[in-house]
Amino acid sequence: MPNISTSLWFDTKGEEAARFYVSLFPNSEVTRVTHYTAAGPRPAGEVLTVEFTLEGRPFMALNGGPEFTFSEAVSLVVECADQAEVDRYWAALSEGGEEGPCGWLKDRYGLSWQITPVRVNDLVADPDPERARRATEALYSMRKIDIAAVEAAADGAGA
């Protein structure tokens, strides 16, 4: 069976980003760093790739140059068990970055993340269509997701 992993293209900060990411998530580590050689195209000794795991999932950061940048078309989803996890990951990943709607953010490296409470996923998929609608409307009004506020909206509080 083939191994499938995610490669993230950075200009020059791949190692810095990888070390930041592994510092945030348990069961994560940098596993290998390679460097450019005299063959180029960058100066010999500069970091080429950084292989790392986040929660046991493999990633590679490639310092490939400024030609390509991240967009919201691809994001990493962090499913959070509770508000404390939402708050912690939101604060760490949005610092120096940019907050977006509905739990989305771009970190300081431009990579998009979705900080998503599992409970909110359940509420917007509620079998009661009115409950799901109210939860979804509340979600659409937020940047960082507030689980209690989405629950209250689903329950019809303030309606």
- Tens-digit pLDDT profile for residues 67-107: 999 999 999 999 999 999 999 999 999 999 999 999 999 99
83 and 46 fall within a common domain:
no
- What is the DSSP secondary structure assignment for residue 36, as one 8-state letter? -
**pLDDT at 158 exceeding the cut of 70:** no
For the entire predicted model, the pTM comes to 0.93
* Among 40, 68, 96, residue at a domain's last position: 68
- Residues 142-153, mean pLDDT to the nearest whole number: 97
User: Which CATH number goes with the domain that contains 1?
Assistant: 3.30.720.100
User: Which CATH number goes with the domain that contains 131?
Assistant: 3.10.180.10
Q: Which domain holds residue 32?
A: 1-68
Give the contacts of 80 (CB within 8 A, at least 6 positions apart).
86, 89, 115, 116, 117, 118
Residue located via tokens 């912690």:
88
Domain count of the fold of the chain: 2
24-69 tens-digit pLDDT: 999 999 999 999 999 989 999 999 999 999 999 999 999 999 999 9
Q: For residues 46-72, b (16+ Cβ closer than 10 Å) or e, as one string?
A: ebbbbbbbbeeeebbbbbbeeeeebee
Q: Are strands 29-35 and 75-80 parallel, antiparallel or unpaired?
A: unpaired
Taking CA 134 as the corner, what is the angle to CA 129 and CA 138, rounded to the nearest 5 degrees? 145
| Residue 66 pLDDT | 96
3-15 tens-digit pLDDT: 899 999 999 999 9
